Amino acid sequence: MAEVRLQKFMAHAGVASRRKSEEIIAAGRVKVNGETVTEMGFKIDPTEDYVEVDGNEIEREKKRYFKLHKPVGVISTASDPKGRKTVVEFVDDIKQRLYPVGRLDYNSSGLILLTNDGKLTHILTHPSFEIEKTYRVIADGRIAKDDIARLEAGVELDDGMTAPARVDQLNYQGERTKFLITIHEGRNRQVRRMCQAVGHEVTDLMRLRFGPIELDNLQPGERKELSSEEIARLKDLKASEA
């Protein structure tokens, strides 16, 4: 999760106004993780750091986990300089400030996670953890079995060779090909570029699964807070990578 200034965190937690919180910090009354902090620009992670004022701990933000069916035409970032609709607008009524986990490009749809759990976000998005993501692809033309084999083995892109992928449920629909592809990398527009590399343009791309979480029957624009079972699966990921 993104860090915030200490005085902003204190104000949001109801300790005092931001200006008054700055005075409290300057007076040496605030500790972060047991260490006194007097620096005005000091930043903390609201979900991980312990903050005390006069020896009393400020309650950290409750961790929240949502899944959203991102529609086509929505930006999967927290803000957009061009003023386009972003995924966080679908959860702007939630008290906690949530951030998207990873990205889906503007013209793609499907599952995206939003949370204030910074450690989980790191695990789900850092390349070293190799978290699998499954997409439903519809591409122009009839993709030959040899090209499917290339996708599975890895194809050369302008930023290097892709890791092996898995292709399932290959289905020819006239002059189009529909299939599922599972990858564990997160390069920009990767699935689209992989298909271009074997000579086919993707016309529709939807993410169905991100790690242990599935899109299920969510409709475009719908969100759902993760169930206790889904959260447990995510926590298993955190435990295994701790």
Just list the catalytic residues: 105
Q: Which residue has the tokens 């949370």?
A: 115
Separation CA 218–CA 188 (nearest Å) = 24
Per the CB < 8 A criterion, the answer to whether 58 and 13 are in contact is yes
Task: Bin 154: left if φ > 0, else alpha if -120 < ψ < 50, else beta.
Answer: left
DSSP secondary structure string, 201-213? -EEEEEEEEETTE
Separation CA 2–CA 63 (nearest Å) = 14
Residue 56: strand, helix, or coil: strand
Take residue 134 and report the two structure tokens written for it: 């499954």
